[in-house]
């Protein structure tokens, strides 16, 4: 079965690893991000199964247009990864209201709107599901999977990160609420806590065992897509194997 997947917020590292893993599993993958040159280069490398859709996830009209393009090119959405996040690394006295609100727009609000768009397809709602794909994907209304990328700050506030931590708490609450609302209707909603640093793609690190491997994280995301409905995961904690654990 060919699935259509959207990765909202793709960059070097984990976002790219998720896209590569999903394409390797036979998915058609739409790459949503602001950096047009990067996602177009990645899509070219991944081949015909990938679609670059330049999108500013803080702009509702761009999200709406992006999903329309995905449906037109690949058909209804079966899998959504809400991967975007951001926030000024400042404490509560120093962060501006604009910086605080932007973190929420990138994470919680964009995550909600992307999920609403995908749910239209997964539940057979307003999405028309008339894309120009090859016709062998799932039909609109067959359920699906929505995964939210979380962080240590999703469960434990971080000193000097008022905006980022608050936004990540909001994303976690959204994911849990959606899981209870849409799980009974066949949509698997999961939240992944990335509890540690991710190994950077562009430089060597002194102690690589202290970092999470982005390709290994992507394996876990694919496992969530493939999980049997009788054992769906709501929240998955991933952390490197170091002494204190």
Helix axes 14-24, 214-226, angle to 10 degrees: 50
Residues 6+ apart with CB under 8 A from 4: 27, 28, 30, 70, 74, 75, 76, 77, 78, 79, 131, 133, 137
Q: What is the pLDDT of residues 152-183, one digit of tens each?
A: 989 888 888 899 999 999 999 999 999 999 99
Q: What range defines the domain where residue 96 resides?
A: 4-238
Asked if residue 244 is part of any domain, the answer here is no
The total of structural domains in the chain comes to 1
pLDDT band at 137 (very low <50, low <70, confident <90, very high): very low
For residue 147, being part of any structural domain is answered with yes
For residue 133, what pLDDT is reported? Answer: 36
57-81 confidence digits (pLDDT tens): 999 999 999 999 999 999 999 999 9
Angle formed by the axes of helices 97-104 and 162-182, to 10°? 30
Residue 242 has pLDDT above 70, yes or no: no
The confidence score (pLDDT) of residue 234 equals: 97
Asked, for residue 63, whether it belongs to a domain, the answer is yes
Residue 209: burial class (beta carbons within 10 Å; 0-12, 13-18, 19+) = exposed
- Among 224, 221, 222, 240, which residue's Cα sits nearest to residue 232? 224
* Residue 144 · residue 78 · CB < 8 Å: yes
> If you write DSSP's letter for every residue of 23-70 in order, what string do you get?
HHTT-EEEEEES-HHHHHHHHHHH-TTEEEEE--TT-HHHHHHHHHHH
Strand order in the sheet with 28-33: 50-54, 28-33, 4-8, 79-82, 144-151, 187-194, 235-238
pTM of the complete model = 0.90
Cβ neighbour number for residue 77 with a 10 Å cutoff: 29
Lowest pLDDT segment from 41-50, 83-92, 196-205, 222-231 = 196-205
**Token reading at 155:** 């469960």
Domain holding 131: CATH number? 3.40.50.720
Output the six-digit token pair for 96: 């501006």
Count, residues in the chain: 245
DSSP one-letter code for 198: B
Q: Which residues have CB under 8 Å from 127's CB, separation 6+? A: 67, 71, 76, 77, 117, 120, 121, 140
- Assess if residue 243 is contained within a domain: no
């Amino acid at each position: 079965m060919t699935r259509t997947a959207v990765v909202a917020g793709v960059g070097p590292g984990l976002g790219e690893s998720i896209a590569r893993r999903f394409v390797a599993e036979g998915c058609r993958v739409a790459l949503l991000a602001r950096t047009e040159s990067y996602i177009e280069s990645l899509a070219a490398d991944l081949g015909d199964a990938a679609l670059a859709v330049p999108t500013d996830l803080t702009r509702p009209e761009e999200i709406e247009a992006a999903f329309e393009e995905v449906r037109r090119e690949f058909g209804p959405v079966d899998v959504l990864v809400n991967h975007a996040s951001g926030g000024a690394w400042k404490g509560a006295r120093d962060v501006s209201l604009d910086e605080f609100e932007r973190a929420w727009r990138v994470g919680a609000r964009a995550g909600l709107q992307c999920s609403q768009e995908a749910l239209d397809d997964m539940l057979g709602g307003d999405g028309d599901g008339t894309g120009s794909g090859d016709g062998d994907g799932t039909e609109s209304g067959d359920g699906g999977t929505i995964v939210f990328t979380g962080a240590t700050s999703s469960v434990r506030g971080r000193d000097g990160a008022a905006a980022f931590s608050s936004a990540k708490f909001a994303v976690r609450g959204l994911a849990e609420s959606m899981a209870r609302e849409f799980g009974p209707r066949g949509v698997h909603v999961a939240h992944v806590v990335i509890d540690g640093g991710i190994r950077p793609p562009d430089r060597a690190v002194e102690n690589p065992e202290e970092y999470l491997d982005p390709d290994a994280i992507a394996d876990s995301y694919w496992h969530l897509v493939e999980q049997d409905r009788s054992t769906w995961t709501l929240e998955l904690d991933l952390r490197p194997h170091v002494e204190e654990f």
